[in-house]
Amino acid sequence: MTSVKQFVRYARRLGQISESGTKVVNRFVKYASTQAQHKFIEDENGKKIFPSPFGDFTPSDSLVHEYVWKNVELFPNRIALECSMTGKKYTYAEARDASNYIARSLRNMGLKKGDLVALITPNYPETILAAVGVLEADLILTTMNPTYTIEEMKKQIKDCEAAAIITVAEIAHIVLEARKNTSASRGPFVVIEDGTRSIPEGSVPFKDLVTRGKTLPPITHYQTTSNDLAILPYSSGTTGMPKGVMLTHRNLVSNMEMVEYTTKERMWRHTTGE
């Protein structure tokens, strides 16, 4: 309660700065004063906690790919992804199916639960398909800035012990150099083609993951749980070396659910294009 009163006093002082500032700050003062009337919850240590106006929330046990595709059947033919440069589009149904085929192909390549796949691409539609496909295959995803130097890429590949890499044709030669003498040098090297240049010998065209996956049996038994690691992004390294940040399926899904829960119809809308 004390902190709320302090905020009100501070806001009033701030409002003296200008007439326009007063009008804006007065709205905050009114809000804070109203909230101060609500009942606080006291924890076991005697600290007062202001309860959320949205009520209790219990996250589901969904995996990321399950949550992403949960409503596809409501609008399967609407556009989910579109490349601003090439104009290539994927409907929700096409995107879901492609991700599933990618997952089947990755498993068929010998990758297994717990293996980590490094995704080194710009923001292409295929980036989304690959990311969700990796998770759907019971694998772990790490992302990397495609503008990294060879040494920066190599450090992260070594640190996370990546078993496979997915990248784009434009930087394939750089990534190949970075993966030398790492755990990824023995695993699949998948390249998203752009139609203007060849891809390195021995690499797997990304489109083959989709076409090949169509002929492979579905993945019927998932070993992953919501408490398992899903994504391992790395910190920026502002105050030291970049470090992996462990995010589970529950971490990611609970964040998406909380946003959906609090924003209701204001944020989660499907696209309007056919």
pLDDT digits (tens, 9 = 90+) for 158-173: 999 999 999 999 999 9
CA–CA distance, 118 with 133 (Å, rounded to integer): 13
Is a pLDDT exceeding 70 seen at residue 20? no
Is a pLDDT exceeding 60 seen at residue 60? yes
Predicted pLDDT of residue 6: 61
- Single out the residue of 61, 136, 60 nearest to residue 96, CA to CA: 136
Q: Which two tokens stand for residue 247?
A: 């995010």
Taking the CA atoms of the chain, what radius of gyration do you get in angstroms? 24
Q: Which of 10-24, 151-165, 176-190 has the lowest average pLDDT?
A: 10-24
Query: 77: which residues sit within 8 A by CB, 6+ positions away?
Result: 91, 92, 93, 274
Q: Which of 74-83, 120-129, 265-274 has the lowest average pLDDT?
A: 265-274
Is a pLDDT exceeding 70 seen at residue 26? no
Predicted pLDDT of residue 34: 59
How many CB atoms sit inside 10 A of residue 217's CB? 8
Is a pLDDT exceeding 90 seen at residue 156? yes
Torsion, Cα 262 140 134 72, to 10 degrees, reads: -20
| Average confidence score pLDDT of the chain | 85
Its CATH architecture, for the domain 64-262, is: 3-Layer(aba) Sandwich (3.40)
CA–CA distance, 178 with 155 (Å, rounded to integer): 9
pLDDT range class, residue 241, cuts 50, 70, 90: confident
Coil, helix or strand at residue 229: strand
Mean pLDDT for 230-234 is: 97
pLDDT range class, residue 53, cuts 50, 70, 90: low
Predicted pLDDT of residue 204: 97
Query: Which range scores top for mean pLDDT: 5-19, 115-129, 239-253?
Result: 115-129
Position with higher pLDDT, 25 vs 244 = 244
Domain chopping of the chain, boundaries: 64-262
Q: Which two tokens stand for residue 112?
A: 């297994």
Distance of CA 114 to the CA centre of its chain: 18
DSSP string, 111-148: --TT-EEEEE--S-HHHHHHHHHHHHTT-EEEE--TT-
Is a pLDDT exceeding 60 seen at residue 268? no
Mean pLDDT for 42-59 is: 73
Is a pLDDT exceeding 60 seen at residue 35? no
Q: Which of 18-22, 113-117, 160-164, 205-209 has the lowest average pLDDT?
A: 18-22
Predicted pLDDT of residue 159: 96
Position with higher pLDDT, 219 vs 150 = 150
Mean pLDDT for 96-108 is: 97
Is a pLDDT exceeding 70 seen at residue 127? yes
Predicted pLDDT of residue 264: 55
Is a pLDDT exceeding 80 seen at residue 24? no
Position with higher pLDDT, 82 vs 52 = 82
pLDDT range class, residue 94, cuts 50, 70, 90: very high
pLDDT range class, residue 270, cuts 50, 70, 90: low
